[in-house]
Amino acid sequence: MVAGAGPGGMTAGLVASLEGLDVLICEKSQQVGGTGSTSAGTLWIPGNSAGEAAGFADSAEDARSYLKALVGDDGADPRRDIFLREGPGIIDDLTRRTALDFVSCGHHPDYRNNLPGAGSSGRAIIPAPFDGRLLGKDFARVRSPIDDYFLLGGMMVGKVDIERLLGRYQSMENFVHAARLVLRYLADRLRHARGTRLVMGNALVAQLYYSLKKNHVPVLFGAAFKELVVEAGRVTGAIVTTDSGSVRIGARKGVVLATGGFAHNPRFRTIFMPDPPPVHSMAVSENVGDGIEAAERAGARLDAGRARRGGLWSPVSLVRRKDGSTGLYPHILLDRAKPGLIAVNGAGRRFVNEGVSYHDFVEAMYRSNETAPTIPAWLICDAAFVRKYGLGVIHPGTRNVRKFEKSGYVIRGDRIEGLARKLNIDAGTLAQTIARHNRFAAKGVDEDFGKGETELNRFNGDPENRPNPCLAPIDSPPFIAVAVWPAEIACSAGLATNGDAQALDAGDRPVDGLYACGNDMASIMAGHYPGPGTTLGPALVFGYRAARHAARGGCETIRT
């Protein structure tokens, strides 16, 4: 039995089926994918075949050196070596035996690419676009991405698509690509609630779900995990609740927990998150830690690493939806590193190289918050920046931001002093901060934080902006600010496991019959973020290993 139909859980269920087991996946909601559906869908797999085929040299040894330098004292985790050694082969096996299909991200630097062993190309892979029409009526079972990842109300696009769409009149190739995207989407809307050309996390989830269907693996929807069944010291099943009441499911081979982590569990957030615990989360609402709590009651141990690193982070802005609800937009790569934007705290001072990874940006917010209010922080730019690059949910090319001002998404001021007053920031300090930044922009050197000096900065900056692709003056009124808050995109703390994803007890002994993967499993990165796909790469690898270990351990799973 697998609890949870996210990427890790579906991988475990799929592999268990391929190994000849009778499998049942129980999913609390009415859709597959969980938070993975709303993600970029990237997997960090050093030494992967797609990168090698694209001509990028890499090795597990280099990646091991990089993680040792990054993780430090938390790095003595045998699971990490297993991940580096087995990960590429596991992805190859999945692509051979299922509908999973990955392509190399090409040039995509590791997030701390100034450390020994860091890679600049080939380590990240993404799912190839998937045709949702192959799922038939079950296409509706795939959870949608966040609204702000859609164009035209329902068309998914990836990073390459965005570049082609923005440059649609710059070349015939771009124009044809953009036209095909739009025409395909318009045809889709005649039959579907959204576009069926799926990319990013939606493509990964759909590929997995399609593979499950092809292998006749059932998914029981509306089945909320409630309790583990333990007999004679072994986990032999679980109790789930459905609309028809509680159901006991026997599982001779074991139970795999993949319920999405503890994102919306107040107790665990207080224990494992930094102070103050973030009030926002990118996780889907169903992720309340029910699997982890049940495992804890069954004797499994939770692990957060040596430091208090319970989350993997992104700064988010708050978006008011048409239905009155509030959404979260993750500021991952499209605006912070671009030239002409700074981030300031409540004292009106910069506190970070704005082009660092989304995880490192939030960690800098927490460090700054110890001496000055930095939750929220403010991203500040000018009208010229918004026209060229956009800002959060505001698309490039936008000339009038008044509707975003009216909705409360941004704060606007015709002068820096006026903007400062609206932000409740000392006007003189903010003016000095911007003037100092503008001097750095003129020279092309950020003397305070080094924005534009790392390969990751330059990768997400604007190569046409010289001399520094990440620095430009902020001097074209009106001036615009958006508040950003810390939010976790994944849990780092979770159940302690061994290399086969078996849950461990307080004495580091396996809890017989119990496995964990995805966000239910304590991250092998111990709260650090080496590169794109830090969560999904291990989720698939250890979901796979859990299933293979269970398949070696006894007779088939049965339901009672």
> How do residues 515-543 score in pLDDT, each as one tens digit?
999 999 999 999 999 999 999 999 999 99
Q: In whole angstroms, what is the distance from residue 224 CA to residue 464 CA? A: 51
What pLDDT, on the 0 to 100 scale, is given for residue 442? Answer: 97
Q: Over the chain, what is the mean pLDDT?
A: 94
- 340-365 pLDDT, tens digit per residue, is 999 999 999 999 999 999 999 999 99
- β-pairing, 102-104 with 25-27? unpaired
Of residues 517, 538, 516, 541, the one with CA closest to residue 528: 538
Q: Are residues 231 and 275 in the same domain?
A: yes
What pLDDT, on the 0 to 100 scale, is given for residue 76? Answer: 61
Question: What angle is formed at CA 533 by the lines to CA 75 and CA 470, rounded to 5 degrees?
Answer: 100
Q: Report the pLDDT averaged over residues 487-515.
A: 96
Q: Which residues of 414-427 are buried (b: 16+ CB within 10 A; e: fewer)?
A: eebebbbeebebbb
Q: Are residues 483 and 552 in the same domain?
A: no
Q: Report the pLDDT averaged over residues 75-97.
A: 93
Q: Report the pLDDT averaged over residues 388-417.
A: 95
Q: Where are the beta strands (DSSP E) in 254-310?
A: 255-257, 280-281, 302-303
CATH (domain of 440): 3.90.700.10
- 298-328 pLDDT, tens digit per residue, is 999 999 875 556 899 999 999 998 888 899 9
What pLDDT, on the 0 to 100 scale, is given for residue 138? Answer: 97
What pLDDT, on the 0 to 100 scale, is given for residue 560? Answer: 29
Look at residue 233 and tell me if it is in a domain.
yes
Q: Are residues 524 and 441 in the same domain?
A: no
Look at residue 67 and tell me if it is in a domain.
no
Q: Are residues 210 and 229 in the same domain?
A: yes
Q: Which residues of 278-300 are buried (b: 16+ CB within 10 A; e: fewer)?
A: bebbbbbebbbbbbbbbbeebbb
What pLDDT, on the 0 to 100 scale, is given for residue 159? Answer: 76
What is the C-alpha radius of gyration for the chain, rounded to an integer number of angstroms? 23
Look at residue 196 and tell me if it is in a domain.
no
- Domain containing 474 equals 312-487
> Does position 436 have pLDDT exceeding 90, yes or no?
yes
CATH (domain of 220): 3.50.50.60
Ranking 34-43, 322-331, 454-463, 492-501 by mean pLDDT, the lowest is 322-331
> Does position 73 have pLDDT exceeding 70, yes or no?
no
Number of domains in the chain: 2
* Residue 370 token pair: 């110890």
Of residues 486, 485, 484, 482, the one with CA closest to residue 386: 482
Q: In whole angstroms, what is the distance from residue 276 CA to residue 299 CA? A: 29
Of residues 253, 316, 250, 244, the one with CA closest to residue 283: 316
Domain end call among 487, 511, 537:
487
Domain end call among 487, 521, 548:
487
* Residue 199 token pair: 């990319």
